[in-house]
Structure 1
Amino acid sequence: MTPAPALLETRGLSLHAAGRCLVRDLEWRVHPGERWCVIGRNAAGKSTLLRALAGLPVPQRHGEVRWLGRPQAEWPAADAAWARAYAPQQAVDRFPISVERLLSLSMVRPGALTAEAVLAQLDVTHLAQRGVMQLSGGERQRVALAQCALQGAPLMLMDEPVSFQDPAHQALVAQWLTGLATSASGAALVASAHDVNWILRAATHVLALHGEGHWSAGRCDEMIRAPRLAAVYGCAWREAGGVWVAA
């Protein structure tokens, strides 16, 4: 039996910006049920990579990205929404519509998820009738995650999905993402993040951007180790009582 194609695949993907190589010859696959976190120092190229994976404009790129085995460039814009969903680091709203209306407009592929269920899971039910332009940064970010999930695409790309969240909501989002990827829908997640301890709760795999185009990838238990973290972040790390700390 021929195996199903990866939800996401890169072939020789290289990205450049401001005269710097961010990623060089990335050969990488993401399969259903996997939860990948992209790590690296500030300006390492995490957001640029996520934009390229989502099919959005980036300064300079070479190589190929495939969704569901089909080259990204061959997907009409209307069909791309069936393949991948993207939550930016910070949403930009131009119209004062309600959260409930925004979520109804976000649904592309009918699925098992309902707006009511996702709002409850992300602790934003009480915001359903509020205008999106009246939300705090953390509230708007959780609504953006709900939009991403309700789109119904099997591949979800999220740029720093907990950057505005308090510790309780960071834990809630980690649990929610795990549930999405392990459900019968067979979804996969690629998210950027900085908090190593949150990554251990939320991810199954890590893609590390080391700078100057270098990268490495593997399972969390292979990647979250002191030498590897030191190489990525440029500082020493130690594990204390099951918690990773930058020394």
Structure 2
Amino acid sequence: MKKQVEQKIRHRVRHGTGQYTESKPDPNASSRAESNHPVSTFSTSDAEHPSSTMLVSVTGAGKSYGNHRALKDINWQIAEGEWWGVVGANGSGKSTLLQLIAGTEERSTGQITIDGRDIGSYSRKDLSRMIAVLQQDGLPAISYPVRDVVEMGRYPYQNWLGRESADGARVVDSVLEELGLTELAERPLDSLSGGQRQRVALAKVMAQEPRLLLLDEPTTFLDIKYQMQFMELLAAWQQKNNITIVAVLHDLNLAALFCDHILALREGSVAGKGTPASLMTEEQIRNIFRVEPVMVSHPDHAVPQLLLRRDIK
């Protein structure tokens, strides 16, 4: 599994999308950070994947709550099989954007299409066969057995009697084995550790067999070991099945390691989008997050990694 993840990163590097040159500290950085910078945007054009199928198209999308504009004029194309990370400060609109794409929130302006069809034209059941969502808090600590929880992911394929063909059981068994959960299948969910519960949450959405997986800060409550384990499981599944992934992430270093592209939001607008190498520059990070960064290259994977300077007076 680790080998698969490294192959994907090497693939990105070979094709010129993962190269990064270590930068030197900027002596004028602190003075520039205090000024009011315009946001520069690095865009990823459709020409980068001319033969790819556009699974998600967001055109001029906005969302307002009363007089508050949470999202403004979002334009974004997501090709099938891509992994996008969505980053930005708290309150920048990341979760709201995910909800618009999931169809759980209705956009105020613009258009969102999934596989060429307006998202509003899908029934809830049809949409759930295409899109799975994993929320930040994963699964509640309920007493249901692990197998029962994973089987809930098969709901979109059940008939009106709540039954499904034998294929469903085979899918569930396969997912449990793939994530190393077979021995825990009869254990109550609330008896598991946080890392194990998050694996069960991933198993549930894998059993749903979506084409598009939306994740809202899936590693927030995990320690470093389980963060990497979760992301590596996700990467192996994506590579095996060509799943399209959109993940809201607070950890920019994780995003650079695993994502093909990054979309950055600031105050409800797109502040930048592109490969990790093109987006994660000192200037971009400074403008988007209002921090003083030091960018270095990962010693093994040739992708940018973020260090922070302390504000020492």
TM-score, length basis structure 1: 0.87
Q: What does residue 247 of structure 2 align with?
A: 191
For the Cα contact (< 8 Å) 2:153–2:206, is it kept in 1? no
Give the greater-gyration-radius structure (CA). 2
The structure-2 alpha-carbon separation of the partners of 1:224 and 1:121, relative to structure 1 and needing over 3 Å to count, comes to farther
Q: What does residue 160 of structure 1 align with?
A: 217
Percent identity of the aligned residues?
Answer: 26
- How many residue pairs match? The answer is 243
Q: What does residue 62 of structure 1 align with?
A: 109
Question: As a proportion of its length, which structure holds more strand?
Answer: 1
Q: What does residue 46 of structure 2 align with?
A: none
For the Cα contact (< 8 Å) 1:141–1:164, is it kept in 2? no
Q: What does residue 230 of structure 2 align with?
A: 173
The structure-2 alpha-carbon separation of the partners of 1:227 and 1:120, relative to structure 1 and needing over 3 Å to count, comes to farther
**Partners of 1:206 and 1:191 in 2: how far apart?**
9
CA shift, 1:35, in A, is: 0.5
State the SS of the aligned residue for 1:7. Answer: strand
- Which residues in structure 2 correspond to 1:75-90 (within 5 Å)? 75-90=122-137
Deviates more, 1:118-127 or 1:16-25: 118-127
Q: What does residue 38 of structure 1 align with?
A: 86
Residues 17-36 of structure 1: CA deviation (Å, up to 9, x unaligned): 47433321111111122100
State the SS of the aligned residue for 1:156. Answer: strand
Q: Equivalent of 1:23, from 71, 81, 85?
A: 71
For the Cα contact (< 8 Å) 1:32–1:181, is it kept in 2? no
**Partners of 1:240 and 1:220 in 2: how far apart?**
12
Q: Which amino acid aligns with 1:165?
A: L
Deviates more, 1:150-159 or 1:210-219: 210-219
**Partners of 1:51 and 1:212 in 2: how far apart?**
14
Q: Which amino acid aligns with 1:146?
A: A
For the Cα contact (< 8 Å) 2:131–2:210, is it kept in 1? yes
State the SS of the aligned residue for 2:291. Answer: coil
TM-score, length basis structure 2: 0.70
For the Cα contact (< 8 Å) 1:145–1:161, is it kept in 2? no
Q: What does residue 145 of structure 1 align with?
A: 202
Q: Which amino acid aligns with 1:6?
A: M
Q: What does residue 283 of structure 2 align with?
A: 227
Deviates more, 1:154-163 or 1:142-151: 142-151
Q: Which amino acid aligns with 2:229?
A: L
**Partners of 2:188 and 2:74 in 1: how far apart?**
41
CA shift, 1:98, in A, is: 1.1
For the Cα contact (< 8 Å) 2:263–2:272, is it kept in 1? yes
The structure-2 alpha-carbon separation of the partners of 1:11 and 1:152, relative to structure 1 and needing over 3 Å to count, comes to same
State the SS of the aligned residue for 1:162. Answer: coil
**Partners of 2:255 and 2:236 in 1: how far apart?**
15
Gaps of 5+ in 2: 1-49, 158-166, 299-304
**Partners of 1:13 and 1:154 in 2: how far apart?**
22
